[in-house]
Amino acid sequence: MMGVRSCPTPQSMPPFDANTLMLVIAVFNGFMALIWLILGRLFRIAPQASFLLAMANIVSIPGLHCPSCSTLWPAALGPWMSELAMVISMALLALGVRRLMRLRFRYVQVLLLCTAAVLAATLFNIWGFADAGLVVLSLGMSLLALLAFRDIVQGRSAEQAPAVTLLQCMPYALWALMMLAQALSLLCLPQSREWFLHGDVPSVPLAWVDLFIELCIGISLVGMVVARLIGRIKHMTLRDGLTETLNRRALSLELRRLQAQVERGQTHCLVMIDVDHFKQINDQHGHACGDAALRHLVKVLRSTMRSLDQLGRMGGEEFCLLLPHTALADAQAVAERMAQALRSAPLQWQGQTLTMTASFGVMPCLQDDPLGDKSLAMADGLLYRAKAQGRDRVCVDTPELRAAQV
């Protein structure tokens, strides 16, 4: 009779310990460092911010991979010197976020905070107060995370939904709270030390939270870069490459929006603008001079515009200015002011002074014209009338002229 074989009892997989989780975080940070270097160096996407973020990930790896390697440091410095890598990493992260959000790059605040935390922690460790040194480092990391939180809020796009901003800020708020809780527990509740630390190693719950936050920060930052890239593409599709004004497509969309408001009783105007004798500028001085003349024109016109006015290039040397919430008399005054500003600001080109003038056709946005085609055509007719009358002048819509055009 054959004996019955007993099935081996399946052994459950051992749970992740803190060292394994920290190693996973170190590998993830190494992968993110590679991603940032590729984005910044190869694709030239936010190169300065990408370099800072790559360095933040690289610097954090020693403290994550070997958080208990206190034998690497002189005994007088205590067991918490590996935490210095995390503080420096957080400082680089804060600087990278600030650069990524295109805020004014003030690194002194971050540098002073990081230096103060490192020096204070080192002194406490030398004096034999290792936990006090860790408290200082935890508070420093908490403040650095709050700086990154603030910069994301300040640098967010006006079109960005508040929920998206909240998600981007969440990991930094969690990191700041985690570091603050660790500092307060070590300072005020020494008996709760095991919630955060087992000897020199983070507790397993803390390591899991750290892994979650690191993943969220990586995803959040990549999302910011993608949003920035999308914004750049959108900008390129709506802007004229030479003058940085609205292109014809974007101008048409904006005019449709204004025409919809005209149907609800609002008053808007548009001004057609054409550079006088532009062909002579190109023929006598070259196309590079012609490009410089168009950029000069836009600079002069913008100096007299309001923030809500929109200037677009129709093509060649012809531009269209949209004046929301503007009566016809006020639009005429704007055109006269622009003409005078252009006369008073000649173009300087290769040691030569070139006087520039332009002709203007001013027209109110008409009702029953949803696409704005009729308003544009009549403004264009006024522009050519100004050209026919000798150029360098403003021609404004009147009932007589409108009847003649019809």
Spell out the domain ranges in the chain: 18-238, 248-405
Q: Which long-range contacts (CB under 8 A, 24 or more apart) does 294-300 make?
A: 294/242, 294/243, 295/242, 295/243, 296/345, 296/347, 296/356, 297/273, 297/342, 297/356, 297/358, 298/243, 298/244, 298/245, 300/338, 300/341, 300/342, 300/345
Residue type, 222: V
Q: Evaluate whether 378 touches 366 at the Cβ level (below 8 Å).
A: yes
Q: What is the pLDDT, as a whole number, of residue 312?
A: 96
Give the CA angle between residues 149, 151, 155 to the nearest 5°.
125
pLDDT 10s digits, 320-336:
999 999 999 999 999 99
Cβ contacts of residue 161 below 8 Å, gap of 6+? none
Look up residue 196 and give its DSSP letter. Answer: T
Percent share of the chain, pLDDT over 70: 87
Look up residue 314 and give its DSSP letter. Answer: E
Q: What is the pLDDT, as a whole number, of residue 161?
A: 87
E strand spans, 337-399: 347-349, 352-354, 358-364, 394-396
Residue linked to tokens 């190109």 = 282
Q: Evaluate whether 374 touches 349 at the Cβ level (below 8 Å).
A: no
Q: What is the pLDDT, as a whole number, of residue 397?
A: 86
Q: What is the mean pLDDT of the chain?
A: 87
Cα-Cα end-to-end distance for the chain: 113
322's enclosing H/E stretch is strand 318-323
The pLDDT confidence band at residue 139, using thresholds 50, 70 and 90, is: very high
The pLDDT confidence band at residue 72, using thresholds 50, 70 and 90, is: very low
Look up residue 306 and give its DSSP letter. Answer: -
What mean pLDDT comes out for the span 148-163? 89
Evaluate if residue 4 carries a pLDDT over 70.
Answer: no
Q: Evaluate whether 26 touches 5 at the Cβ level (below 8 Å).
A: no
Please name which of 183, 57, 26 lies closest in space to residue 120, comparing C-alpha atoms.
183
Compute, in degrees rounded to 10, the torsion defined by CA atoms 205, 211, 214, 219: -120
What mean pLDDT comes out for the span 124-130? 82
Give the pTM. 0.71
Q: Phi and psi of 369, rounded to 5°?
A: -140, 70
What mean pLDDT comes out for the span 191-195? 69
- 73/100: higher pLDDT: 100
Ramachandran class of 277: left when φ > 0, alpha when ψ lies in -120 to 50, beta otherwise: left
Q: Phi and psi of 40, rounded to 5°?
A: -80, -40
The pLDDT confidence band at residue 70, using thresholds 50, 70 and 90, is: very low
The architecture (CATH level 2) of 248-405 comes to: 2-Layer Sandwich (3.30)
Please name which of 390, 358, 359, 361 lies closest in space to residue 377, comparing C-alpha atoms.
361
